[in-house]
């Protein structure tokens, strides 16, 4: 007997593919840069911006991978819960 794949259907487990509109400014992390490969930079994505979750779980205090302005970033799921409003699945 196999268990159902909850990650494919339950939005409380995963956020992959969902778009969110930020209802307030929200911190994010970038690890891509021109100076050094593994440099971590923090930034704040402004209110009313839209982001798309590209990878990662929703449960716990883990990071999810997002895109904003066609660039990759990471964000804590707790921050996204507190700062974002789910719009729907990204096209």
Percent of the chain with pLDDT over 70: 70
pLDDT at residue number 8: 46
Average pLDDT across the chain, whole number: 79
Indicate whether 69 pLDDT > 60.
yes
Q: 17 to each of 35, 38, 41, 66, 87, how far by Cα in Å?
A: 30, 26, 24, 9, 11
Record the tokens describing residue 86, joined without a space: 């789910």
Domain residue ranges in the chain: 6-89
Position with higher pLDDT, 56 vs 48: 48
pTM for this predicted structure: 0.73
């Amino acid at each position: 007997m196999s268990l159902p794949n909850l990650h494919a259907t339950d939005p409380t487990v995963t956020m992959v593919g969902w778009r969110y509109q930020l209802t307030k400014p929200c911190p994010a992390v970038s690890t891509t840069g021109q100076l050094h490969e593994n440099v971590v930079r923090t930034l704040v994505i402004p209110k009313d911006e839209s982001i798309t979750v590209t990878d990662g779980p929703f449960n716990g205090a883990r990071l999810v991978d997002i895109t904003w302005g066609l660039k990759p970033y990471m964000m804590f799921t707790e921050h996204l819960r507190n700062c974002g409003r789910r719009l729907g699945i990204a096209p």
